[in-house]
Amino acid sequence: MVNDVTLKNDWHVVAKSEDVTPGKVLSVRLLGEDLVVWRSGDQVLAWEDRCPHRGASFAQGWIKDDNLVCPYHGFAFNNSGNCVHVPAHPDWIPSTRSRACVQTFHVQERYGLVWVCLGTPQYELPAIPELDDPSYYKCFFGPIHYHSSAFRAIENFLDFNHIPFVHDGRLGESNHATIDDYKVKVNSDGIHVTDLSVWQLNHETGQGEYVSASYDIFRPLTVCLRVRSKVVDEIMTMFFTVTPVEEEKSIVWRWSCINYADKVPEDVFRNLAHIVFDQDVAIVESQRPRRIPLDLEANFHVPSDRSSITYRRWLKQQGVTFGTV
Ligand code: FES
Ligand code: CO
C-alpha cells in the first residue's frame, strides 16, 4: 500500500462516470494499486483488485444478482465487500467474516467523474460554479495519458512561459514571450496565482491579445484556471485534475467551460485542444527526471517561475513523496 499519506487521503479520478456501466467490471490503477470499479444500483464501488480467498484478480470476474463474482472459485461478494456465497459449500457461512471481506475504498461521483480515496478523505472536492452554470458551454477531455509524474503534468498546466514556444502559432507567439510580474498567495485553500497577463491568440480572430489569467491550485493534483478577455466578457475556465497512476505514469482529465461558445464552433475548439495536448504530452514526457524534483536546488529558476517554485515548495510542505524526487 502506498505510504504517501497526503495523496492516499486525497480524492483522485479513476474513470468517467459514463464508463462505469451496470454489469461491467472496470480495472483501474491508482497510486500503484490495482482496483476494480463497478456499479451497484446508484452506487459506484471501488475495491482492491484482490480476492480475499486466494488473491486472484477480480478483473475477469462478473456481476450476478448485484454481487461481484470472483473468476477463480466463483465466490460472490456483496456491495459491502462481504463474501455471501461459496459455490463449493452453498450452506457455508464464513465464520471469520473480517477475512472474508474485500478491501473497499471511498468513492464519489462528481463532475461526471468517479473519484476514489484510498485512505480517509480529508478534503471536499472544490466547487466549480461554471460546471453547474447552464450559460457555459462545457467540453470534456480525457483520459490523456502521460508517461510522467502527475506533478509534471500539473506543473506544465501552471506554466505559461512555455505557451509562446510549445504552442507557437496555436495559443501563443514566440515574439510575445515576455512575462510581467504576477501575484502568488498561499492559504489553507491552496495556492492562488492572480494578475497574470498572458499573450494569447484569439480563438475566433487568430489575432494576438493580452488576457488575464488566474489559477487556483486547490489540491496537489487539482487545479482551476480562469482566462478572461480584457476587453469583452469572455471567460474560459479549465478544471484540470491528474491521476497519479504510478510514480511515473499519470492521466489528465479536463473540463473546459466557455461563455462564448456561439463564437467558436465545437470542432474548432476540440481540434485545437487536442493539438495543444499532444504538444504538452511530448514536452512533458521529455523532461528528466520523470518525477518532479522538490529540492529547489535541483534546477535553476527565473522570476516568472514563481508559481512553480511555490508549487514545489508547497508539495514538500504537504509531505508529498509519490512521483517526486
Ligand atoms: Fe477468489 Fe478463490 S481466489 S474465489
Ligand atoms: Co501547454
Tens digits of per-residue pLDDT, 205-243?
A: 889 999 999 999 999 999 999 999 999 999 999 999 999
Can you tell me the distance from the alpha carbon of 61 to that of 67, in angstroms, rounded to the nearest whole number?
A: 10
Spatial distance between the Cα atoms of 50 and 70, rounded to a whole number of angstroms: 9
pLDDT in tens, 27-43: 999 999 999 999 999 99
Rounded distance between C-alpha atoms, residue 240 and residue 251, angstroms: 11
CA of 184 to the centre of ligand 2 (A): 20
Across the beta sheet with 249-258, what order do the strands follow?
137-146, 249-258, 235-246, 222-229, 208-219, 190-201, 183-187
pLDDT of residue 266 exceeding 90 = no
Q: Is the pLDDT of residue 1 over 80?
A: no
Instruction: Check if the beta carbon of residue 270 is closer than 8 Å to that of residue 139.
Output: yes
The pLDDT of residue 210 is 96
Query: Does ligand 1 have an atom closer than 6 angstroms to the CB of 85?
Result: no
Average pLDDT over residues 104-124: 97
Longest CA–CA span in the chain (Å) reads 76
Q: In what order do the strands lie in the sheet with 76-77?
A: 62-64, 67-69, 76-77, 83-85
pLDDT digits (tens, 9 = 90+) for 13-25: 999 999 999 999 9
Instruction: Output the CA 88–ligand 2 centroid distance in Å.
Output: 56
Who surrounds ion ligand 2 at CB < 5 A?
Answer: 280
Q: How confident is the model at residue 320 (pLDDT cuts 50, 70, 90)?
A: very high
Backbone angles phi, psi at 165, to 5 degrees: -105, -60
Is the CB–ligand 1 distance for residue 86 below 6 Å? no
Rounded Cα–Cα distance for residues 222 and 236 (Å):
17
Q: With a 6 A CB cut-off, is 217 part of the ligand 1 pocket?
A: no
Whether this model's ipTM surpasses 0.90 comes out as yes
pLDDT category, 96, cuts 50, 70, 90?
low
Name the residue of 47, 64, 70 whose CB sits within 8 Å of the most ligand 1 atoms, as the mutation to test its pocket: 70
CA of 100 to the centre of ligand 1 (A): 10
Pocket test for ligand 1, best of 48, 54, 92 (most atoms within 8 A of CB): 54
Amino acid letter, 279: Q
CB 38 within 8 A of CB 22: no
Overall average pLDDT of the 112-139 stretch: 96
Q: 475556465: which residue's cell?
A: 237
